[in-house]
Structure 1
Amino acid sequence: MQARHIDHVNLRIPADGVDDAREFYGEKLDFGIEDTLYAADEKPFFDVRLSATAVIHCRPTEEFEPPTATSYDHVAVVVEESLDEIESELYSAGVEIEKRLDSPLGATGEAPAVYVEDPFGYQIELKARV
């Protein structure tokens, strides 16, 4: 079997966290939000579009429990911008940078990255292209 890429990541969010997710991922990080089928009650989650081939499913649930240090670490997303541009965009959007690493290793090699936390406690790594 030959893997090509990760298709999606499924994150559970609080049932009342839909607006917070749309604001954080859609407005602050400027990723596309695809929620037509969710709004029509045709599927139990909506998508954060990262690229043509990758999404984050946000699944609202009453049983949500915030991630812990032993249950989750982070999702890494490679973005087109340089680290300086990433930091500038996050600052302008009012998103606090948790940490910055100059050369974390990823699937495509080492590249600078910053880490932010979404409204539900999930850490997101925003990594410049190698």
Structure 2
Amino acid sequence: MKARHIDHVNLRIPEDGVETAREFYGDELGFGIEDALFEAGEKPFLDVRLSATGVIHLWPTAEFEPPTATNYDHVCVVVEESLDAIEAELDAAGIEIDRTLESPLGATGEAAAVYVRDPFGYRIELKARV
């Protein structure tokens, strides 16, 4: 078996967190939100479109529990921007940076990365393209 890339990641969010998710992932981070089928009641989750080949499924649930260090660390998204541009966009959106690393190792090699938390407690690594 030869894997090519991660297709999607499923993250649970609070039942009343849909608008907050749209604002954070769509408005603040600038990713595409695909929610027509969710809004029509045809599927139980909405998508954050990261690229042509990758999405984050956000599943609203009444049983949501914030992630803890014992069950989740982070999801990494490679972006086109440089470290300076990532930090500037986050600052403009009012998103607090947890930490910045100059060259963490990942699937595409070493590149600068910025870590933030979404409104539900998930850590997101925004990694500059190698």
Pair 1:124-2:120 in alignment: no
Match of 1:85 in 2: 85
Identity of aligned residues (%): 77
RMSD: 0.3
Q: What count of residue pairs does the alignment treat as equivalent? A: 130
Q: Which consecutive unaligned segments of at least 5 residues does structure 2 have?
A: none
Compute the displacement of 1:54 (Å). 0.2
Any idea what the Cα deviations from partners look like across 1:49-105, whole Å, max 9, x if unmatched?
000000000000000000000100000000000000000000000000010000100
Match of 2:26 in 1: 26
Match of 1:36 in 2: 36
Runs of 4+ in 1 over 6 A off after TM superposition: none
DSSP-derived class of the 2:97 partner: coil
Q: Which consecutive unaligned segments of at least 5 residues does structure 1 have?
A: none
Q: What are the within-5 Å matches in structure 2 for residues 87-102 of structure 1? A: 87-102=87-102
TM-score, normalisation: structure 2: 0.99
Pair 1:60-2:60 in alignment: yes
DSSP-derived class of the 1:98 partner: strand
